[in-house]
Structure 1
Amino acid sequence: MPKVLVSDKLSETAVQIFRDRGVEVDYLPDLGKDKEKLAEIIGQYDGLAIRSATKVTEKLLQAASNLKVIGRAGIGVDNVDIPAASKKGVIVMNTPFGNSVTTAEHAIALMFAVARQLPEASVSTHAGKWEKNRFMGVELFNKTLGLIGAGNIGSIVADRALGLKMKVVAYDPFLSEERAAQMGVTKVELDELLAKADFITLHVPLTDKTRNILSRENIAKLKKGVRIINAARGGLIDEEALADALETGHVAGAALDVFAVEPATESRLFNLPNVVVTPHLGASTSEAQENVAIQVAEQMSDYLLTGAVANALNMPSVTAEEAKVMGPWIKLAGHLGSFIGQMTDAPIKSINVLYDGSVAEMNVSALNASVIAGVMKAANPDVNMVSAPTIAKERGIQLATTRQEASGTYDGYIKVTVVTEDRERSIAGTVFSDGKPRFIQIRGINVDAEIGEFMLYTRNKDVPGVIGALGTTLGDMGVNIANFQLGRTSSGEDAIAILYLDEALPEPVLEALHKTGKFLQARALHFEV
């Protein structure tokens, strides 16, 4: 009988699910706070069910001699060292959709609160004052709501806002016109949203692309009198710039559930009369806590008893038999998707995947999921192979799959083509007999490129001096090249280079390459190898 430790507070219903399924369970909800004691006993368990209090570090994993699966009741896994878990062979699961409605409702509640100054009015009235004339609010009716992020939670907020008879505009790089029409919202670019919105709600993960998406510069572009709501992630807003805008009156109000540093015990935003703040309560309802707890218990039980994998962050949803054969191909599929995701800035309409030869006979659903996850990770690092197809569907991204018999030099290969509003971008790859994935074609140009963690892609016209400029620039800036592949369509026409580097490419290198005037495009790439 497998044995699971629950080291954080979890619903009793969830604990009973383990027992009903035939899994032995120890419910010790305060143990997660005692890392020494946890390390002493973790070796007894096959599974560890947690929330946010337990920190699963590399040191703890070293002591977890029998651990097979970690289940996080909730979406965030900042408290789990996933690379260390992967090296240890431990699956990490989460429950990405269990608190979507709750978080969306909290955003709507914050919008009402800041529109009608409800917290300040409540404090005043509790104090025995009757300041009816002091609290003059605004209606939501007929106002424009700007959604930054139109995924699962954002789409729920849009639905509720439309029910309030608001107009909704949305900015999301993955939102297609078709999906926007289905949602009843107008798809816009960020600058247009900033200029039009009376209220703005944020529903994006924190990534390099979204960090300070409401920067000082973008806050200056906002419509005067706007009200801002953030129940997504701290770090999406420049809090100092927001405080300045609130104090000058350019921003009429803000409601924040999340902060750049948490727990937030001090901030310039605190005690401003036009600011509503809550302590990261987005997922804090009894229903949401129950939902994610039940889901994690069911997922962990299924894996421990049958080998079924769901919502895993570091393993594909395939059977044990398939994993041995498909593992390298799943990794290749993710790399192909990641390449295109990092190269594509425009909204994606469709992803087309061609499976040729031996790979066409495999479980392509898992391969498709790996491709989609790779494409979308550039914008959302929380995406995994299970959640990626759902997220893509929510954004109206179409997936087309083609299988064909072996048609060329390779026993099998995968070709991924992404279609945006104005262009197509494609890449193909294969797995050699050594089990290592390779890129074999980019933009229709044949290459043979080993895939490394840090890479550089360039595009240019095939003219003399390009290779010299590339080598000299990287050499002068201390960048060492591990592998260098070139390709071209024909003499004097389009040419590409893809380089495998020893370390991450410093940002000044790209600027230096562009200044040479020899490159049409140069982009640093990163792959999870």
Structure 2
Amino acid sequence: MKILVTELMWDDGIEALRKKGYTVDYDMELSRKRDELLQMLPEYDALIVRNETRVDPEFLEAAKNAKVIGRLGVGLDNIDLEAAKVRNMPVISAKNANATSVAEYVMAAMLDASRPLSDADADVRRGNWDRKFFTGYELHNRTLGLVGMGEIAHRVAKRAHAFGMNVIGYDPFVAPFDHVVQETGVHPAETLDELLDESDFVSVHVPLTKGTKHMINKDNLPLMKSHAYIINSARGGIVHEQDLVEAVQSGKLAGAYLDVLETEPVEKGSQLAKVESIRLSPHIAGLTDEAQSRTAMLIAREVDNVLNGRKSICAVV
């Protein structure tokens, strides 16, 4: 059987599939060659994608012989799940494989905001020795607000607690006795507005849906403290980017760490890229060697399960 991988996948996952006897064709740039991709799809029994490949009705129609689609990650906004259901096409995701890496990215962002060591290094190399300017602050006793209280938020909270931070969370789908409240110790906020008002850092951990698109915007950004930061490692579009730029430029907000953007890669002339205290990274929060190895191996295993008539523990559809 033949498997097509359209985006970046770690070698160990590809080799695991080949050792099981599959023919694996791999082109990490194929997601950007739409016409070529559509022509190739009918040849394959399974497809493995990431976040750039648009799995829509046209894609699914072309993939008429495929028996499963594996998603190297957990975000599903590039996959039309309803269309997949109509075609009885199983979709599997790499459930929790990169959660630790994303949690550590959030901690790195907060540490960078409180103690900007790279900026201090650059300043010293310019011949300066400004100890007062680079006097930072402790994370201890600061408040971290988690928008969304799923598995990644749970892991962020554990690490934040180790630093002595207060952790609150907003998630209308979390019940009072769920583990993130009872066991992890995240104090639930009644509303998003309450969370924004109380937090020194706000970290976003929700999927991009009609209900979450631009949920942080000019109407609620003014509620935040002027020294606060927003960290978005979830999906671009949850934070309204132009509203964020205006809030930071006007001094109503200290800054932001954005790993995800509405348009990726960043557009030429983007206002975001012109604001120094809005730090940008190229969608790498979950992109560590360990996480990508786990992701590749998990998807390889689950694709093999489906192709051999077994159920997948990571099935989304």
TM-score range, shorter chain: 0.7 to 0.9
Aligned match of 1:295 in 291, 294, 298? 298
Determine the C-alpha separation between the residues in 1 that align with 2:245 and 2:37.
42
- Structure 1 segment 296-445 matched on structure 2, within 5 A: 296-314=299-317
Q: How does 1:69-468 map to 2 (within 5 A)?
A: 69-179=68-178, 180-190=181-191, 191-265=193-267, 266-314=269-317
* Aligned residues of 2:2 and 2:24 also touching (Cα < 8 A): yes
For 2:247 and 2:31, locate their aligned partners in 1 and report how far apart those are by CA, in whole Å. 41
Q: Does the CA contact (< 8 Å) of 1:7 and 1:27 recur in 2?
A: yes
Question: Larger Rg: 1 or 2?
Answer: 1
Alpha carbons of 1:211 and 1:16: their partners in 2 closer, same or farther (altered >3 Å)? same
Question: How far does residue 251 in structure 1 lie from its aligned partner after superposition?
Answer: 1.7
TM-score, normalised on structure 2? 0.87
Higher relative contact order (CA 8 A, sep 6+): 2
Per residue, is there more strand in 1 or in 2?
A: 1
Is the 1:110–1:276 contact (alpha carbons within 8 Å) kept by the matching residues of 2? no
Please give the alpha-carbon distance, in whole angstroms, between the structure 2 residues aligned to 1:24 and 1:285.
Answer: 27
Q: Render the CA deviation track for 1:370-411: whole Å, top value 9, x for unaligned.
A: xxxxxxxxxxxxxxxxxxxxxxxxxxxxxxxxxxxxxxxxxx
Q: What displacement does 1:159 show?
A: 0.6
Q: Distance in 2 between matches of 1:28 and 1:109?
A: 32
Q: Which amino acid in structure 2 is aligned with residue 136 of structure 1? A: T
The 1:286/1:278 distance shift into structure 2, 3 A limit, reads same
Q: Is 1:23–1:301's contact at 8 Å kept on the other side of the alignment?
A: no
Q: CA deviation at 1:165?
A: 0.6
CA contact (8 A) 2:77 2:208 kept: no
**Amino acid of the residue matched to residue 298 of structure 2?**
Q
Distance, in Å, in 2 between the alignment partners of 1:65 and 1:208 is 29
Aligned-partner Cα distance in 1 for 2:28–2:211:
37
3-state SS in 1 of match to 2:8: coil
Corresponding residue number in structure 1 for 2:61 = 62
CA distance 1:41–1:112, shift in 2 (3 Å): same
Identity of aligned residues (%): 36
The answer on whether the counterparts of 1:194 and 1:222 sit within 8 Å (CA) in structure 2 is yes
Instruction: Tell me: CA distance 1:193–1:289, structure 2 relative to 1, closer, same or farther (3 Å).
Output: same
CA distance in 1, matches of 2:34, 2:250: 47
Q: Secondary structure of 2:177's match?
A: helix
**CA-CA distance at 1:157 after TM superposition:** 0.8
* Deviation per residue, 1:107-134 (Å, 9 max, x gap): 1111111222344334434555444433
Read off the aligned partner of 1:305 and give its amino acid letter. Answer: N
In structure 1, how many angstroms separate the alpha carbons of the residues matched to 2:186 and 2:8? Answer: 39
| Contact 1:235-1:259 within 8 A present in 2 as well | yes
Q: Distance in 2 between matches of 1:268 and 1:62?
A: 39
Distance 2:58 2:211 in 1: 32
Distance in 1, matches of 2:56 and 2:239, equals 29
How many pairs are equivalent?
Answer: 313
Q: Which runs of 5+ in 2 are unaligned?
A: none
1:186 aligned partner, one-letter code: H
1:251-277: CA deviation from partner (whole Å, max 9, x where unpaired):
223222222332223433334343322
Distance 2:168 2:30 in 1: 46
The 3-state SS of whatever aligns with 1:216 is coil
1:224-261 Cα shifts (integer Å, max 9, x gaps): 42222222222222333333332333322322222233
Calculate the TM-score normalised by the size of structure 1: 0.54
What CA distance in whole angstroms lies between the structure 1 residues aligned with 2:49 and 2:226?
Answer: 44
Distance 1:260 1:121, change over 3 A: farther
Taking the aligned partners of 1:172 and 1:4, their CA distance within structure 2 comes to: 38
Which whole-Å deviations, capped at 9, do the CAs of 1:40-69 have from their partners, x for residues lacking one? 433222111222344444344333342111
Name whichever of 290-299 and 120-129 sits farther off.
Answer: 120-129
Task: Summarize the Cα distance change of 1:254–1:62 in structure 2 as closer, same or farther, 3 Å threshold.
Answer: closer
Match for residue 475 of structure 1? Answer: none
**Secondary structure of 1:93's partner?**
strand
Q: 1:497 maps to which residue?
A: none
Partner secondary structure for residue 214 of structure 2: coil
SS in 2 for 1:49: strand
| Structure 2 Cα separation of the partners of residues 282 and 153 of structure 1 | 11
The separation in 2 between residues aligned to 1:194 and 1:31, in whole angstroms, is 40
* Alignment correspondent of 1:38: 37
Q: 1:301-354, CA deviations, whole angstroms, 9 ceiling, x for partnerless residues?
A: 01111332332332xxxxxxxxxxxxxxxxxxxxxxxxxxxxxxxxxxxxxxxx
Question: Which residue in 1 is equivalent to 2:3?
Answer: 4
Q: Is the 8 A contact 2:302 2:313 kept in 1?
A: yes
1:86 Cα deviation from its structure 2 partner: 3.7
* Contact 2:233-2:258 at 8 Å conserved across structures: yes
Shift in alpha-carbon separation, 1:238–1:122, aligned structure 2, 3 A? farther
Decide whether aligned partners of structure 1 residues 282 and 250 sit closer, same or farther in structure 2, where only a CA change above 3 A counts: same
Q: Judging changes above 3 Å, is the alpha-carbon distance between structure 1 residues 271 and 183 closer, same or farther for their aligned structure 2 residues?
A: same
Moved more, 40-49 or 150-159: 40-49
